[in-house]
Amino acid sequence: MRYDVAIVGAGVIGCAIARELSRSLATVALIERDVEVGLGTSKANSGIIHGGHRAHDGTLKAATEWRGNQLWGELAKELPFGFERVGDLTVAFDEADLAVLHETLEQGRRRGVTGLELWDAERLRREEPNLSHEAIAALHAPSAGVVNPYEACFALAESAVRNGVDLKLEHAVEGIDRDGDGFVVRTSRGDVAARFVVNAAGLFGDAVARMAGASAPTIRARKGEEYLLDKRLAGYVGRVVFPTPSGESKGILLIPTYDGTLMVGPTAHWTADHGADTTDLDTTAAGAAEVFAGARRLAPGIAEADCIAEFAGLRAVADGEDFVIGATEVAGFLNVIGIQSPGLTAAPAIAQDVVALLAAQGLELEPDDAFVPGLEAPVRAAQLDFEELARVARGDPAFGRIACRCERVTEGEVRAAIARGARTMDGVKFRTRAGMGRCQGGFCAWRVMSLIAEATDTPIPAVTKKGGGSWIARVRTDAAERSDAPDAPDGTREVAHG
């Protein structure tokens, strides 16, 4: 069959576009190289839905940020993912900063951002007593929020699939050939024919454009390191806190994540090899030093000793720093690339714009009357009280068995996550929080691995952390040679044929 639209890349941008298109009868293939959606930059970021006032006038960022912000509120009503408008503060330490805050305030107001307000030092101290007493003022944007970005990707993709989109995972796009008025997308798992191709390949956006013979700016990777702090500091600040920006970077922030953990970061540095095709997701001692110094400037009580986890993400930066969204000289091939920050915020607005661009190029968009906007929320045992949980467990005993004790995740939740698409340890972790707690999976990893193996009929050595070569366990030296290898004690029998 020939699809109306093939989307290359299932990050938050590809997923949002697919979901938006699934409102119509257009046929859509969402093509992703990884084993699950959203495991690239879209899971490794600050998770902030920006207030809408910050992007510079005249950019595509500014044209999509505030609209995206508003659309997240609507999406959160339809789909199950963590989202809360906690608000943000931009803190000024001197008169020069204060002047910038005034400009940002005006810029936001012009754009229609609601609720912006300047706070004096006294108000700031009252609202956020843990912030530095050297702050002289702050700009408050109640519109800003925090989201669990991976949950948002999973929900967008799942909703798209429910509404007819074909999700093609582990399909790496290797070539794109013209075919009549459309394209044949060559993937590692066969060809996909489509009339239109949308390039949402993130860091590989320029490479994918080249495959189609379309021009694209070079994409470079700017790394951001983030550090999560112990639960002990939950509630230390109530809002996302920014320093007054200087230049492109937003600086080091304090981020009260949706789950209540305080996160500090991100840095912003080109990766060592400068290229987008980088494997450099390293956190570094220098990065940590920069982040904690920056965080302490905002809130002096923050210390590196409280760090419990860290990660890095890569911004896909196009020359000129702006988003690149639109038609190319190859008719029917659209670029949606260079989506760096605030790309997460802008995603739902970008999706609407891309659908409009496709319509302008001749895609028919007949509404799908059977479109279902909602998705049922997964059970979260940790959020239920005893009676509620007991009721669920009576219905399905798997909800009566705890798999992850730190985050109190039941086996039923792990099974449900797998049924909804989790294939890897990270996929289960980011859907259920199993393994995200203090023991970082030490207790539950074996149980989760066994559940994935069992539910997906995969041998244990083929269960991975995040796809590809990220195997976790291998068969015993002797078992590999014997055909009568003993069953694992829990009854899984993969030993022999691993």
Partner 1 sequence: MAKPAPLDLRRRYDVVVVGGGPAGLGAAVGARDAGAEHVLVVDREPEAGGILQQCIHHGFGLHHFKEELTGPEYAQRFLAQVTERGVDVLTDAYVLDVDRDRRVALLSQDHALAPVDAGAVVLAMGARERTREAVRIPGSRPAGVMTAGFAQKLVNVAGYLPGKRVAILGSGDIGLIMARRLILEGVEVVGVFELMPHANGLSRNVVQCLHDFDVPLHLSTTVVRVHGRDRVDRITVAPVDEALRPVLSRAWDVACDTLLVSIGLIPDNELARHLGVRLDPVTTGPVVDSTMQTSRDGVFACGNTVHIHDLVDMVSQESYLAGSAAGGFVTGRHTPADNVRLTPGANVRYTVPTTISTDREHTVYLRVQKPMTDCVLRLGDVHAKPLRYVVPAEMVTLKVRPRFLEAFHGGTLTVSVETREPASTKGAAA
Ligand X SMILES: Cc1cc2nc3c(=O)[nH]c(=O)nc-3n(C[C@H](O)[C@H](O)[C@H](O)COP(=O)(O)OP(=O)(O)OC[C@H]3O[C@@H](n4cnc5c(N)ncnc54)[C@H](O)[C@@H]3O)c2cc1C
Question: Binding residues for ligand X, per CB under 6 A?
Answer: 8-14, 31-34, 40-42, 45-48, 50, 172-173, 200-204, 208, 224, 226, 266, 313-315, 339-345
Among 116, 406, 417, 422, which residue interacts with partner 1 (rule: CB under 8 A)? 406
51 binds, among partner 1, ligand X, none (CB under 5 to 8 A by kind): none
Query: What are the C-alpha distances in Å from 61 to residues 8, 57, 339?
Result: 21, 8, 9
**CB burial of residue 279 (10 Å; 0-12, 13-18, 19+):** exposed
State the DSSP string of 204-272: GHHHHHHHTT---PPEEEEEEEEEEE-GGGTTS-SSEEEEPP-SS----EEEE-TTS-EEEE---EE-T
Site for partner 1 in 409-438 (CB under 8 A): 410, 425, 438
Q: Which stretch binds partner 1 (CB under 8 A): 1-9, 47-55, 356-364, 460-468?
A: 460-468
486 binds, among partner 1, ligand X, none (CB under 5 to 8 A by kind): partner 1
Q: Which CB atom, from 112 or from 468, has the smaller least distance to ligand X?
A: 468
Number of residues that bind partner 1 (CB under 8 A): 61
Please, what is the minimum distance in Å from the beta carbon of residue 149 to partner 1?
Answer: 17
Q: Which CB atom, from 137 or from 209, has the smaller least distance to ligand X?
A: 209
Pair of tokens at residue 356: 């409009």
305 contacts: CB under 8 Å, gap ≥ 6: none
170 contributes a contact to partner 1 by CB under 8 A = no
Residue 76 φ/ψ region, left for φ over 0, alpha for ψ in the -120 to 50 degree band, beta for the rest: alpha
Evaluate the CA torsion angle 199, 205, 206, 212 in order and state its sign: negative
Among 40, 145, 251, 287, which residue interacts with partner 1 (rule: CB under 8 A)? 287
371 binds, among partner 1, ligand X, none (CB under 5 to 8 A by kind): none
Please, what is the minimum distance in Å from the beta carbon of residue 194 to partner 1?
Answer: 30
Q: Which CB atom, from 1 or from 285, has the smaller least distance to partner 1?
A: 285
- In the residue annotation, 102 being an active-site residue is answered as no
397 contacts: CB under 8 Å, gap ≥ 6: none
Q: Which CB atom, from 175 or from 468, has the smaller least distance to partner 1?
A: 468
468 binds, among ligand X, partner 1, none (CB under 5 to 8 A by kind): partner 1
Q: Report the C-alpha dihedral over residues 254, 219, 52, 58, rounded to 10 degrees.
A: 140
φ, ψ dihedrals at 128, nearest 5°: -135, 75
Pair of tokens at residue 99: 């002047």
Neighbours of 371 (CB within 10 A): 14
486 contributes a contact to partner 1 by CB under 8 A = yes
309 binds, among partner 1, ligand X, none (CB under 5 to 8 A by kind): partner 1
Nearest to 348 by CA among 363, 333, 336: 336
Task: Write the interaction track for partner 1 spanning residues 243-282; mark x where CB under 8 A is met and - where it is not.
Answer: ------------------------------------x-xx
Nearest to 83 by CA among 42, 138, 143, 130: 143
Q: Which uninterrupted H or E stretch holds 5?
A: strand 2-8
Please, what is the minimum distance in Å from the beta carbon of residue 256 to partner 1?
Answer: 19
Among 166, 170, 304, 368, which residue interacts with partner 1 (rule: CB under 8 A)? 304
Q: Which stretch binds partner 1 (CB under 8 A): 18-26, 53-61, 63-71, 389-397?
A: 389-397
- Cα angle 304, 243, 290 (rounded to 5 degrees) comes to 35
Among 269, 378, 443, 455, which residue interacts with partner 1 (rule: CB under 8 A)? 443
Among 115, 311, 368, 454, which residue interacts with partner 1 (rule: CB under 8 A)? 311
478 binds, among ligand X, partner 1, none (CB under 5 to 8 A by kind): partner 1
Q: Which stretch binds partner 1 (CB under 8 A): 101-109, 123-131, 187-195, 442-450?
A: 442-450
User: Are the C-beta atoms of residues 142 and 122 closer than 8 Å to each other?
Assistant: no
* Adjacency order of strands within the sheet including 48-49: 48-49, 145-147, 83-84
Q: Which CB atom, from 19 or from 315, has the smaller least distance to partner 1?
A: 315
477 binds, among ligand X, partner 1, none (CB under 5 to 8 A by kind): partner 1
Nearest to 90 by CA among 216, 305, 254, 330: 254
Among 133, 274, 490, 497, which residue interacts with partner 1 (rule: CB under 8 A)? 490
Q: Which CB atom, from 73 or from 498, has the smaller least distance to ligand X?
A: 73
Query: What are the C-alpha distances in Å from 99 to residues 91, 102, 111, 443?
Result: 12, 5, 19, 52
Q: Which CB atom, from 375 or from 472, has the smaller least distance to partner 1?
A: 472
Q: Which CB atom, from 77 or from 405, has the smaller least distance to partner 1?
A: 405
Please, what is the minimum distance in Å from the beta carbon of residue 310 to partner 1?
Answer: 7
Dump strand ranges (E) for 68-218: 83-84, 88-92, 117-120, 137-141, 145-147, 166-168, 173-179, 182-187, 190-199
Residues identified as active-site = 50
Q: Which residues bind partner 1 (CB under 8 A)?
A: 279, 281-285, 287-288, 304, 307-311, 386, 389-390, 393-394, 397-398, 400-402, 405-406, 408, 410, 425, 438-443, 445-446, 450, 460-461, 464-479, 486, 488-490, 495
